[in-house]
Amino acid sequence: MGRTLLSLGEAAAALGVPEVTARRWARQGKLPAHVVDGHPRIYREELEAWAKIHRMAIEEAAERVTRHPVADTTLLGAMQRGGVHFHVKGRDAGEALRSAVAVAPLAAGVNRDALFERILEREQLTSTAMGSGVAVPHPRTPAFDFVAEAMVVTCFLDQPVDFHALDGRPVEVLFLLLNPSTAVHLRVLAQLGHLLRSEGFLEFLPGCESADALFERAAEIAPGS
């Protein structure tokens, strides 16, 4: 009986990480990839075994889409749901992430310690710092046991924190992504990436003084997202 071959894009979606991350892991030898017809591929069975060792869950695509309709998700809605928080404390990456989890508007009874551990595990795997003073932390696997809808918790840190960004610049703003499925995560991540790449947005961030100002700027740059 033949085994199922996945592309790196399919593997990334199953793991809940951006495709560029899966490609980097494969290049570094962290993922069990094989070259098939000139392209990197991963046997699903080997991916499942690798994910189990690294405590990463794999969801079926059909199940994700059925439970969490991607088309209904917008970046602005996720940002408004997560709120904007100023003067968030943290002397290092771990403290800043814990503080971000503490201010996240989660439902009563959510295990914040467990969520923090998931986010910290992801950060220890590779930095989520994007450069230019921004980081986009998130759990290693979909956060369906912590949130029912997409949430982006925006945190302006009380002091710059070293997240080991490639450009060497300490992080001043965290966009904590909490999403109920891989598909929703990839949609929100792509929309946020567009926002961060937009002309003038990174320059706008340090002087942002209110949630309304941030939401208005996001709506101007990415209407309908």
Strand-strand pairing, 171-178 and 134-135: parallel
Q: Using CA atoms, how far apart are residues 148 and 215, in angstroms rounded to an integer? A: 21
Domain ranges of the chain: 5-58, 68-221
Query: What token pair was written down for 18?
Result: 């951006």
Top CATH class, 68-221: alpha beta
Proportion of the chain above pLDDT 90, given as a percent: 54
Please state, as a whole number, how many other Cβ atoms lie within 10 Å of the Cβ of residue 39: 11
pLDDT single digits (tens) 47-93: 888 888 887 777 544 344 334 456 578 999 999 999 999 999 999 99
The predicted model scores a pTM of 0.70
Q: Which residues pair with 88 in a beta bridge?
A: 157
Question: What are the catalytic residues?
Answer: 138
pLDDT on residue 121 = 92
Question: Of the CATH numbers 1.10.3470, 1.10.1740, 1.10.20, 1.10.1660, which one belongs to the domain with range 5-58?
Answer: 1.10.1660
More confident residue, 20 or 169: 169
Q: Diameter of the chain by CA atoms?
A: 60
Q: Contact 43/4 with Cβ under 8 angstroms? A: yes
